Amino acid sequence: MSLQDLPSGIKANLSELDDVVIGTPSENDVLKYIDGTWTAAPDATGSGSLADGDKGDITVSASGATWTIDNNAVTNSKVATGIDAVKIADGSVTNAEFQYLGGVTSDIQTQLNGKAASSHTHTISDVTGLQTALDGKQAAGTYATGTGTANGTNTGDQTSIVGITGTKAQFDTACTDGNFMYIGDAPTAHTHPQSDITNLTTDLAAKSPLASPTFTGTVTAPALIVSSETASRVAILDASKNIKSADTATYPSLTELAFVKGVTSAIQTQLDGKQATLTNGYGLTGTTTKEVALTTAEAFCTQETTLSAATYADITGASISLAAGTWLIIATANGSSQTTTATSMIIAITTSANAVVAEAAQDIPAGTATVRTWGNLSLSAIVSPASTTTYKLRGARGTTTRTGNCIISDGTGLNTANNVSNNSDKSTSIRAIRIA
């Protein structure tokens, strides 16, 4: 930094630095501006040190105390030859060992993999011409040598045949006992252990036994043809375990067997879960005996119930309990007015929790203190309770101009004075038929 580059307020002209406190400077001191005052102070970077920063291939830091060679700064042109091999990798390779790489032209491991092991064997076919050469040699044995021939007949045991030459066939002919053989030859009838046969033991170990063999992989067998049997029939084993074509009079045919295709579970289990065939049942033509049992439920109003409010109230006795399923509920109600004020008869089918499933209403004109006026309502609903549920009849009177009490009857006014209920308990009712 030059004097001209000093910050504003710092005197740029050295001759004007009249407030500099020099004191007695020491070797390598520098002039520093500290807390608004110029003063002599030691150079923090040390004598002759560089200021921090990138110096090309080297970066100076820590006030000149640390010099770091930049990445990729050391190139081949900057490195001298003759580097000691102990500087490479973990240093375990010597210079002499490293020098052995000279002259290698391709991957060393690949070349080693292509070489034979130090200890290895060869078959006869691996040696060029060996089998041909062996075929031209005499079999191993000790042979008689000399002059003359073996033609003729010799009798008795021969202890010496020196001087006799000839072929083995000639020797066999010359010996009337037929026991002549070469020393070293195996007898005509002889045996060998498995180890004498090349690869025999390992080849046998790779085979499956004839009795109860165990196969792996894909086993390919020839087509099995039984020419004495009938084609296109199911094959079975008879009592003697022979393969036979099954008689279709006793066993299913291939066409019948094909009907099983697509079945996903036990057929009998599926059949057992189906509805039995209906015979002589409702809805079948020409039947006289009705064998279908319908599940029903019914209840009647067992006591006159006076509806004196415009809110629903239970009708005495008109309540049924239905099991899980689907039911058709049918209800009827007979009501009357015995006052001089008209009324409305409002009837509902509800659950035991008073949830309305169906409702209806009818106006009933005013009666008198002695003579009743009557009304009748019918309503129905289809319900499907998930579990056993109670259903009942509930009723209410009208409002505004129809506030007279409505009396729900437990009977009709048949043959009664002034049309009062005859208490038959067969009038107002709730009935149900199970339909599913």
Averaged over 162-186, what is the pLDDT?
59
pTM of the model: 0.37
Per DSSP, the three-state class of 259 is coil
User: In this structure, are strands 406-408 and 313-322 parallel, antiparallel, or unpaired?
Assistant: unpaired
CATH architecture observed for domain 296-434: Sandwich (2.60)
Residues 6+ apart with CB under 8 A from 200: 194
Residues 6+ apart with CB under 8 A from 308: 397, 405
Tens digits of residue pLDDT in 209-229: 888 888 788 878 788 788 888
Averaged over 20-44, what is the pLDDT?
64
What are the domain boundaries of the chain?
1-68, 145-183, 296-434
Query: Based on the number of CB atoms within 10 Å of its own CB, is 378 exposed (0-12), middle (13-18) or buried (19 or more)?
Result: exposed
Confidence of residue 277 (pLDDT cuts 50, 70, 90): low
CA 192 – CA 200 distance, rounded (Å):
11
Confidence of residue 132 (pLDDT cuts 50, 70, 90): confident
CA 229 – CA 222 distance, rounded (Å):
18
Confidence of residue 395 (pLDDT cuts 50, 70, 90): very high
Q: How many CB atoms lie within 10 A of CB 251?
A: 13
Per DSSP, the three-state class of 167 is coil
The predicted structure's pLDDT at residue 149: 46
CA 363 to chain centre: 69
Q: Which two tokens stand for residue 231?
A: 């084609």
